[in-house]
Structure 1
Amino acid sequence: MSSTPTAGHGQGFLASVVIPAHDEERGIARTLAALLDGSCTLDVLVVCNGCTDGTAEVARGFGSAVRVLEIAEASKTAAVKAGNAATDVFPRVHLDADVTLTGADVIRLIEPLGSGSILATAPRRVIASDASSVVVRWYYEVWEQLPQVAEGLVGRGAFALSRAAQERVDALPQVMSDDLAVSDAFGPDERLIVDAATVVVRPPRVVADLLRRRVRVVTGNRQASAVGVRRPDSSTGLSTLLSIAWRRPSFVPRIGVFLVVTAIARFRARRFIRSGDFTTWQRDESSRV
């Protein structure tokens, strides 16, 4: 791992931002440009893990505003761990390399953490699905209606933690579905979705990549359940989908698409679950175009 000094509070940072990045050359500049909009001074760490492209070079192009770490292992878990070890600045924002969150939104995101009662926050999710196929769009329209998706920290690619929250998260078993584990580590009175802050999430464009992403989620969720970090109420039951159909009858065809995609993803995930493979990262590339 490339060495980098640890940043502390004395350097005047408002928050730290840890960004694990694996072969994100095509999108990391967009992510960093939005984050470094001049709204605040942040300790930004891009942790390039197992990169075979120019991710590190692009990130270094932002000069002293970004610290770049490089580790050989292509592992998000290892990257987050390395990033956490390289800064002691809190609050700490964990940000995926393929989403967009502005510096102004970071300020809005960390403000509630000063109360002491709120330990974890996440921004309102905006899914930029204009370039996605109809099937992908329909899937996500149903997915966003799920209570755990609407109310939890999952699927946003960004969340902020207080120091106490980070310590709680650090004590959790390491799992593939890290955002699920983080979300379920806090009760409804300890976490908050900050509607004034928005994160732009880019979904897959094509069904094949949607299925790859959902296979990863199914596999990760099963692992999270097995090690006890997933709450029972964070899973989706048929009653939830029936409730959505009752409230929004026009969603019935969309729910059909959702069920088919879910069934295929669960079938494909079986071989990973049976072999105990919770490290193979089923990644979609179409969202990174």
Structure 2
Amino acid sequence: MTTECHILSGNIQTDTVQHDFLSVIIAAHNEEDYIADCLEALLEQDNSAGLVEVIVAANACTDRTEDVVFSMKTAFEERNWRLVLLKISRAGKPNAFNQGDDAAIGNNRIYLDADVRCDPEMLGQLRAALSQQHPIYATGTIQVVPPSTWITKRYAEFWVRLPFVQNGAVGAGLFSANAAGRKRWGQFPAVISDDTFVRLNFAPEERIEVAARYHWPMVEGMRNLVRVRCRQDAGVAEIRRLYPELIRNENAQKISLSNLLHLMVQVPIGFLVYATIQTLVRLRPGSSEWVRGR
């Protein structure tokens, strides 16, 4: 495996400013259609974001992802932010995060998917949440990007109302840890569900969901929804098998019968779609294949 590091803006020569930087690490594999929007949303953050470095860990890209990142150099220079492009020969999100960690200079780390767009208040609110001395995990308020297919629209309108999504600091596509929290694990392990692994390294009282929203795309169509749900279930099962000690931090709220009936009345078609997909997932073996989140 080879990795090339290109510091496109904000070349730092001293360690004395590291504690001031907020490091955003983006794992990107063939994201030419999304990475510009992701980076532009970061550049639009308000002044409470402070000093920021963005590391794009481009892993085994065969499209124009790297070219798009290069094209953002001037915009980052104008913001006086640090932009780093890593060209990684081997595909894989955990390895991309590890390479990004090795290149990062900030003590507080934000891990972001390349197809996520953050509202302007996000980085500032995460900075404030991560400013404590004790271990902290923080994420934003998830907002599903309006789906284009009927089936995903109906599925999403039910999913966003589930107790886990409403109260669980989900962290799908965006999660962060302060310096003390990042010490909870070493390198990212080669697991299916990196977000679940990180979240469960923190007790519920150590997890914060800030008010700022991030816009997260959901896969389109019945077949893709079933594939992703199978992969998610396999990811959770893998964590339970490999890291059983982390399960004590799981606080997933099971939906009560009364809540379920309430949701059925609120979104009856959404409930039927969700139940159908859950049934199909149970009939299909779990999958560890990588599936895009849109």
TM-score range, shorter chain: 0.7 to 0.9
Match of 1:211 among 204, 213, 226: 226
Q: Is the 8 A contact 1:18 1:95 kept in 2?
A: yes
Residue 63 (1) aligns with residue 73 (2): yes
What displacement does 1:38 show? 5.8
Amino acid at match of 1:111: A
What displacement does 1:29 show? 0.2
Distance in 1, Cα, partners of 2:253 & 2:154: 17
TM-score, with normalisation over the residues of structure 1? 0.84
Partner of 1:115: 132
Q: Is the 8 A contact 2:45 2:119 kept in 1?
A: no
SS of alignment partner, residue 135 of structure 1 = helix
The Cα RMSD (Å) is 2.6
SS of alignment partner, residue 229 of structure 2 = helix
Q: Is the 8 A contact 1:145 1:244 kept in 2?
A: no
4+ residue stretches of structure 1 with deviation over 6 A? Answer: none
Distance in 1, Cα, partners of 2:149 & 2:251: 27
Alignment of 1:48-197 (within 5 A): 48-63=58-73, 65=76, 66-102=83-119, 104-117=121-134, 119-129=136-146, 131-170=147-186, 173-195=189-211, 197=212
What displacement does 1:215 show? 2.4
Distance in 1, Cα, partners of 2:21 & 2:261: 45
Q: Is the 8 A contact 1:152 1:183 kept in 2?
A: no
What displacement does 1:172 show? 7.0
Cα-to-partner distance string for 1:170-201 (whole Å, 9 max, x where unaligned)? 37754211111222221221111111x11011
- CA 1:250–1:152 in structure 2 vs 1: closer, same or farther (change >3 Å)? closer
User: How many positions carry a matched residue from both structures?
Assistant: 274
- CA 1:252–1:236 in structure 2 vs 1: closer, same or farther (change >3 Å)? farther
Unmatched segments (≥5 aa) in structure 2 = 77-82
Cα-to-partner distance string for 1:152-173 (whole Å, 9 max, x where unaligned)? 3435311221011111133775
What displacement does 1:101 show? 1.3
TM-score, with normalisation over the residues of structure 2? 0.83
Q: Is the 8 A contact 1:132 1:206 kept in 2?
A: no
SS of alignment partner, residue 267 of structure 2 = helix
Q: Is the 8 A contact 2:200 2:250 kept in 1?
A: no
Cα-to-partner distance string for 1:66-119 (whole Å, 9 max, x where unaligned)? 211011111000000000011130211111100101453101122022233460
Q: Is the 8 A contact 1:45 1:67 kept in 2?
A: yes
Amino acid at match of 2:98: K
Distance in 2, Cα, partners of 1:233 & 1:147: 13
- CA 1:132–1:118 in structure 2 vs 1: closer, same or farther (change >3 Å)? farther
- CA 1:236–1:74 in structure 2 vs 1: closer, same or farther (change >3 Å)? farther
Amino acid at match of 1:35: L
- CA 1:12–1:173 in structure 2 vs 1: closer, same or farther (change >3 Å)? closer
Unmatched segments (≥5 aa) in structure 1 = 273-277
Amino acid at match of 1:178: D
Q: Is the 8 A contact 2:41 2:118 kept in 1?
A: yes
SS of alignment partner, residue 16 of structure 1 = strand
Deviates more, 1:15-24 or 1:221-230: 221-230
Deviates more, 1:112-121 or 1:23-32: 112-121
Distance in 1, Cα, partners of 2:224 & 2:148: 11
- CA 1:191–1:252 in structure 2 vs 1: closer, same or farther (change >3 Å)? same
Q: Taking every aligned residue pair, what percent have the same amino acid on both sides?
A: 28
Amino acid at match of 1:165: G
